[in-house]
Structure 1
Amino acid sequence: MNIHKYTLKLLTAAFSLSLLSVSGQFTITNPLTTRDMTGIKVGDNAYLTAANGVDPNGAGWLRLTEAKTNQKGFMYVLQGFPTTLGVIADFEYKDWRNVDDSYFGADGFSVYLFDATVTDANFKLGGYGGSLGYATYSNPAGTTGLSGGYVGVGLDAYGNYANDGENRHGSAPAGTLTSGMLPNAFVLRGPTSSTYTSSNVYLASAPLGDRSGTVADIRQRNEIDYNTITATRPADNIFYRRVQVIITKPGNDYVVTIKWRKENQTTFTQVLSYTLSSATYPIPANLKLGFAASTGGGFNFQEIRNIILTTPGNLRVDSRSDSYFTCNDNTSNLTFKVEVSNDTDAALNSIDFNGKITDDNNNVLDPAKFSITSLSTTGFTNSNIPISGFTSNNISGTVGLTAKSSGIITITGKYHKRGIGTNRNFRMVSTVSSNQITDTDTTNNTAVTAIEVRRCSVVSNPMMPAYSK
């Protein structure tokens, strides 16, 4: 069984049930790490690296562009979601290249939210090039913006998305541009309009890092992309980016907030906040999420994975592991990182946490098959979760978090040789709750990370899976 496919199906089922019970609740996840195309639409040069043999199944990425000239690619999630309670779009990305392009990487990519009533047949991207698949464009002349586009966030390595060239409408203030460009920046553009000159107008931007020197000096700094030429994808401790695009409605208007986390960081940093007038830009009842990227003379591999779509303003949990499989004939160590987020406006000192290692039927595993060896926490104001002396694979405790903050529980354990058998899975199941708040969305209160147990080759590289099928 494909572990990430299994997790996606489990959470999608929970999402479907929640829509029947409470309007506005949803949690949609897709790791994009496998060969499975279920639930997504992929086009132009984009592809799943696990499907094309670039990466092992379970360890792949959605590659929007190759590190080649004049590439373009897109993907969007087929499942729409309600906007009643707002939305958080959370994802990881890598932006890197294996050869020198003489441009210090280009162009960048967009993450966009668009009206879910737009059908697949009627879906149309905006212009590529500096418009990053979202905004209007000049080639061909009169290229309109993305069908039903509501907001398009550009992660711009090269620097054109913020200016009014190529028939884009509106520009960042001249004082923030360098040689007419804004490289290494987050840039926000607005909805697609039937009036061409009012479509996808510039709204806001957040230049990143050191802005001194020439435009080339700014481009070659490691902010949006990684600028050291490398034969292989940079490891997470070298270059890691995780982004959250958040839409809330604290009053009459909508607020778009962008946060990100970089390598060796445990907390998100807010980089941009912009208020959208609800009168000028009414939000559709349901939205969909997508990504698009482009290259020109300059280029990068532009890759996405681990998409989470859910609601803000509540308690939630997410979990990940340092490996997607283990070998049945080996005793091996595995680490899970469980992130608990208090996205409410109140400090909470009594968040109940339960974490357990189970089989596919939710039975807690015997320590003879898998045993927890250590646990640590960071970011919490208080915690009574045990950190040693584990006698079972079921852990409970209480943690605290300040308002709008997250903490991480790191659990390390040992899979024991031939513990559960080949082509089976075990799972880290994490659940949070608190009686200190009324949680507006409980679909994101449980996270499941599954590990596949494989029969691995001992003749060649033990990290290369060899199925017993």
Structure 2
Amino acid sequence: MERDRSITIKIVLLILCLSNNLEIFAQYPYFNSGQQADAFTLLGESRSGLVTYSKNGIKLLDAQNQYSGVYLNDLSFTTEKGFILEFEFGLDIGRMEEDKYGDGIGMVLFDAAESNPSLGDKGGALGYAHTQKYSGVHTAGFTKGIFGLGLDLYGNYKNRIRGGSEIRNGITEIKDGNFVVLRGPYNPSNPYEGYPVLFAIGTRKNTNLYLNRSTGQAISKQKGFVGQRFSLRSAVMNAKPGDIGYRKIRIAFVPGQDDYTRQQGFFIFVDIINGIYNSSIIKNYFVPKSGSIKYKEELIQGLQTSEIKNLGLTIPTTMKMGFTGATGAASIRAHIRNISLSLPFSPVVQDIVIPDVIYDRPFVSKPLYSAIGYDSNVYSVLNPPSESILFLDLSSFRFKVFDDKTKSYVVNTDPFKLEVPKVGTFTYDTDTGEVTFVPVEGYRGSSYTFYYDIKNKRPATGVDISTEEYRSTTASVTLNFTDEIPLYRNPPLLVNKGVNKVQ
């Protein structure tokens, strides 16, 4: 009896271990449309019912003097292999103050060991940073926050603040808005210090500021941003890929070794798709896995107004993700949606729009027109992995459809054939990577969008990056139909069109 009980316990423990491993494995790639509240925990809001979930995604803000946040309660992800986070955002109606909307929204990464996180301060702190007060009643930053990526509309998230009752560290006193700002980790010894600005990059003007982690001083560089200049606020609540008002941000943490310091850590990349353009906000910004950051902390008492502090940095093995937003006298309506999580060196797939497809005849498209695969996941600045369409496993292609019940993309019953009632049939060729569309008789829709994902080929040596956890995120291909036979066919329109250097 005792022996049977022991065997049973061992089997149960084995199942639990396997289940836990499968749970972690299944998180890459991850997708959440933001249309349902199920996966999110509310952190705070300035009035009841402010945060809502709809086809437009998660509404965080819609008026003045608001403050809100949510996080994905069941999504803990490992950092060992790095990660890529993407989400779409829509910033539209609002009130201007000093010709600026505000304050902005943020994405927060925090230690997954924290089971009950709290928001940071309101206003320009965007729910992530701390604020000290002359009254002595300080506000701590986001609980065990490691990184806070802010879309800083008004400009105070990046700034040193010593006005009114607020005192907060920053990297500049430039009043301009429209900055992408990354703040770093909390101070475990003092909840009213830390969260330093690591970089602040202007999307409208050529202003690029970086923290020198060795000295605590700000560095201003003319080079950094590469791409089409744009405003974070697109004035559209829910634009489609390819529309002028479309906004999507991608932040990648790629593990590797810094060629200069020989430290192990992560190279940070941030890109924003604005309309049909992809703008590179920052690339190869290095943070160590474990080390220290010197930064300038603002002080309340004494003759000095600031002091160089030495802040320890240890990136946790697992993290969680949340989203925050805040407004003051200046305001904005803010939505986020279509949140995805994938591994670096998963295939890169991009949404494309194909114009001038004739209604009543078969059409052959190349959904992989802009896709690339990789031959390795070992990264360094001087020797990055090779990328090519030739590294894609064409046989791993899968048609996907949007499940209206779960508000997510699921694999079609037949991964190579998609039959759409009253529209037509899409058939994928595993040899060529092409998709043939045959419309039903009399079809007269203006457009139709299908979805897919794909994997890398297995490399000859090294880590196997052809596994399911390295599968790509879901991409869309939109066919725009016409009656007229074009004199010549325009190429597919890449939503991520590539970069042009603009100062």
What TM-score, normalized to structure 2? 0.61
Structure 2: how far apart are the matches of 1:290 and 1:368?
A: 36
Q: Which residue of 316, 319, 328 maps to 2:347?
A: 316
Task: State the match for 1:256 in structure 2.
Answer: 268
Q: CA deviation at 1:288?
A: 0.6
Asked if the contact 1:27/1:309 (under 8 Å) is kept, the reply is yes
Asked if the contact 2:179/2:201 (under 8 Å) is kept, the reply is yes
Q: Which residue of 25, 29, 32 maps to 1:30?
A: 32
Q: CA deviation at 1:286?
A: 0.6
Asked if the contact 1:24/1:84 (under 8 Å) is kept, the reply is no
Task: State the match for 1:237 in structure 2.
Answer: 243
Asked if the contact 2:110/2:319 (under 8 Å) is kept, the reply is yes
Q: Does 1:170 align with 2:201?
A: no
Q: CA deviation at 1:416?
A: 3.9
Between the aligned residues of both structures, percent identity stands at 20
Structure 2: how far apart are the matches of 1:96 and 1:255?
A: 32
Task: State the match for 2:7 in structure 1.
Answer: none
How large is the Cα RMSD of the aligned pairs? 4.1
Asked if the contact 1:90/1:307 (under 8 Å) is kept, the reply is yes
Task: State the match for 2:14 in structure 1.
Answer: none
Residue 47 and residue 18 in structure 1: after superposition, are their counterparts in 2 closer, same or farther (change >3 A)?
same
Q: Which residue of 17, 20, 23 maps to 2:22?
A: 20
Residue 310 and residue 19 in structure 1: after superposition, are their counterparts in 2 closer, same or farther (change >3 A)?
farther
Q: Which residue of 371, 395, 403 maps to 2:429?
A: 395
Asked if the contact 2:66/2:328 (under 8 Å) is kept, the reply is yes
Residue 443 and residue 185 in structure 1: after superposition, are their counterparts in 2 closer, same or farther (change >3 A)?
same
Task: State the match for 1:246 in structure 2.
Answer: 252
Residue 64 and residue 357 in structure 1: after superposition, are their counterparts in 2 closer, same or farther (change >3 A)?
same
Task: State the match for 1:295 in structure 2.
Answer: 327
1:118 maps to a residue whose letter is: E
Q: C-alpha offsets along residues 364-402 of structure 1, whole Å, 9 cap, x if unaligned?
A: 547695645xxxxxxxxxxxxxxxxxxx61222468xxx
Q: What SS is found at the alignment partner of 1:63? A: strand
Asked if the contact 1:258/1:273 (under 8 Å) is kept, the reply is no
Structure 2: gaps spanning 5 or more residues: 1-17, 208-228, 258-263, 292-311, 354-362, 378-383, 401-410, 444-448, 478-503
Structure 2: how far apart are the matches of 1:254 and 1:168?
A: 31
1:28 maps to a residue whose letter is: Y
Q: What SS is found at the alignment partner of 1:249? A: strand
2:155 maps to a residue whose letter is: G
Structure 2: how far apart are the matches of 1:450 and 1:237?
A: 14
Q: After superposition, where does 1:133-144 map in structure 2 within 5 Å?
A: 133-138=127-132, 141-144=137-140
Task: State the match for 2:91 in structure 1.
Answer: 95
Q: C-alpha offsets along residues 340-377 of structure 1, whole Å, 9 cap, x if unaligned?
A: 344653334423224455785337547695645xxxxx
Structure 1: gaps spanning 5 or more residues: 1-15, 51-58, 213-220, 323-332, 373-391, 400-408, 420-425, 452-469
Q: Which residue of 248, 254, 276 maps to 2:287?
A: 276
Task: State the match for 1:39 in structure 2.
Answer: 39
Q: Does 1:185 align with 2:179?
A: yes
Q: How many residues align?
A: 363
Residue 443 and residue 336 in structure 1: after superposition, are their counterparts in 2 closer, same or farther (change >3 A)?
farther
Asked if the contact 1:190/1:203 (under 8 Å) is kept, the reply is yes
Task: State the match for 1:225 in structure 2.
Answer: 233
Residue 24 and residue 445 in structure 1: after superposition, are their counterparts in 2 closer, same or farther (change >3 A)?
closer
Asked if the contact 2:103/2:126 (under 8 Å) is kept, the reply is yes
Residue 193 and residue 414 in structure 1: after superposition, are their counterparts in 2 closer, same or farther (change >3 A)?
farther
Structure 2: how far apart are the matches of 1:41 and 1:414?
A: 44
Structure 1: how far apart are the matches of 2:398 and 2:151?
A: 37
Q: Does 1:109 align with 2:105?
A: yes
Q: What SS is found at the alignment partner of 1:130? A: helix
Q: After superposition, where does 1:195-206 map in structure 2 within 5 Å?
A: 195-196=190-191, 198-206=193-201
Residue 435 and residue 199 in structure 1: after superposition, are their counterparts in 2 closer, same or farther (change >3 A)?
same
Structure 2: how far apart are the matches of 1:164 and 1:366?
A: 55
Structure 2: how far apart are the matches of 1:398 and 1:363?
A: 15
Q: After superposition, where does 1:314-393 map in structure 2 within 5 Å?
A: 314-316=345-347, 340-342=371-373, 344=377, 345-349=384-388, 350-351=390-391, 352-354=393-395, 355=397, 357=399, 360-362=412-414, 365=417, 371=424, 393=427
Residue 99 and residue 276 in structure 1: after superposition, are their counterparts in 2 closer, same or farther (change >3 A)?
closer
Structure 1: how far apart are the matches of 2:167 and 2:366?
A: 44
Task: State the match for 1:325 in structure 2.
Answer: none
Task: State the match for 1:124 in structure 2.
Answer: 118
1:261 maps to a residue whose letter is: I
Asked if the contact 1:116/1:288 (under 8 Å) is kept, the reply is yes
Q: CA deviation at 1:22?
A: 8.4
Q: C-alpha offsets along residues 80-103 of structure 1, whole Å, 9 cap, x if unaligned?
A: 111111111111111111666664
Asked if the contact 2:95/2:101 (under 8 Å) is kept, the reply is no
Q: C-alpha offsets along residues 393-432 of structure 1, whole Å, 9 cap, x if unaligned?
A: 1222468xxxxxxxxx9x684664899xxxxxx9744323
Residue 413 and residue 38 in structure 1: after superposition, are their counterparts in 2 closer, same or farther (change >3 A)?
farther
Task: State the match for 1:432 in structure 2.
Answer: 455
Asked if the contact 2:28/2:471 (under 8 Å) is kept, the reply is no
Task: State the match for 2:15 in structure 1.
Answer: none
Asked if the contact 1:24/1:83 (under 8 Å) is kept, the reply is no
Task: State the match for 1:443 in structure 2.
Answer: 469
1:434 maps to a residue whose letter is: K
Asked if the contact 2:144/2:185 (under 8 Å) is kept, the reply is yes
Q: CA deviation at 1:241?
A: 1.5
Q: CA deviation at 1:261?
A: 1.5
Q: Does 1:148 align with 2:180?
A: no
Q: CA deviation at 1:259?
A: 1.6
